[in-house]
Amino acid sequence: MPNKGSCGFSDALSLPNRIVMAPMTRVRAAEAGLATPSMATYYAQRASAGLIVTEGVQPSLIGQSNPGTPGLHTDAQAESWRQVTDAVHANGGRLFAQLMHGGRVSHPTTTGHQPVGPSAVPATGDVFTPTGPQPAPLPRALSTAEVPEHASSYADAARRAIEAGFDGVELHGANGYLISQFLSSNANLRTDVYGGSIANRIRFAVEATAATVDAVGGARTGIRFSPGGGIWGVEENDTPELYEALLTELVPLDLAYVHVEATTHDDVLLGLRKAWPGTLIVNPAFPMGPRQTDREAADRWLELGADLISFGRAFIANPDLVERLRLGLPIAAHEESTWYGGGDAGYLTYPSYQHT
């Protein structure tokens, strides 16, 4: 797959291969949401990817979902990311920050605030807190006047990201977080301009994306979706129509890319490929599902029309994943117990392939 040649990613950035490192929460930030030297090493080790998308980065304090995650809403946080972007660029890589507002998927013990969402409907399941998993709390429904502030938080964080040396940003519109909640037909029960019809439910996603494009430019802005994924209890009763309408609104913004997870039927995803004329990244694996993305799945989606393929879990234990795929080398197994939190073990300790 890496040998298909250079992929023209945007006017501002050309990628050397079609392999994207997908965003993965690793919960290793320092106090106050600061990036660390270990994070710089972790991402630099994987700089041979055509593009790296970081773990979810909160654009505001109230937008923080999990404890131990990094932010981009203070000057100190932005400055802490400079060591990461410098390290990745020194190794020849390209790095986008994923901007993730958790919305209702949060907890007061994590942020000091009651979580917010489009409606007062809690997420399904337990959320992570500093003292362990806790039932998802009841969020406070945002007033109509408050919604633009949360849309603009993505743009504010994007400006900090570019100042910190990132090549661009990806809005996290997937996996049941705030943008996904507004798109939903069961998490969003609003009756104002942000709820009800498809045109209203896509409004927040469009406004957040447009604000980010205004801040840093379309060539530096991507967005990720998980159509029909059902993650954190989010449902969409009209997935094909919803996302086709959303993509139609996003086309004029001339984004760097749209990044979709294979969370629905192939025919729906192929319909979205037709609706989106720009660069499309596909992650063939269902989030947290039993099978991670492999070479076979990647090649299949390239044949179906994807421009780039994102790999998540395979990058954890294989910092040299691009080389392994290029040469057909074995893909090392990762240790699930080290996914979240902890020190450098299971984070920086996976070696490149040892040739004999």
Burial degree of 266 (CB within 10 A; 0-12, 13-18, 19+)? exposed
Q: Residue 219 is encoded by which pair of tokens? A: 């060539």
Given a contact cutoff of 8 angstroms between Cβ atoms, the answer to whether 125 and 113 are in contact is no
Q: Which residues are catalytically annotated? A: 177
Beta strands at 257-261 and 221-225: parallel, antiparallel or unpaired: parallel
Tell me the sheet residues that pair with 96.
53, 168
Assign residue 33 a region (left: φ > 0; alpha: ψ between -120 and 50; beta: otherwise).
left
How far apart CA 73 and CA 59 sit, in angstroms, is 5
Burial degree of 42 (CB within 10 A; 0-12, 13-18, 19+)? buried
Question: How many other CB atoms are there within 10 angstroms of residue 37's CB atom?
Answer: 12
DSSP letter at 229 equals: -
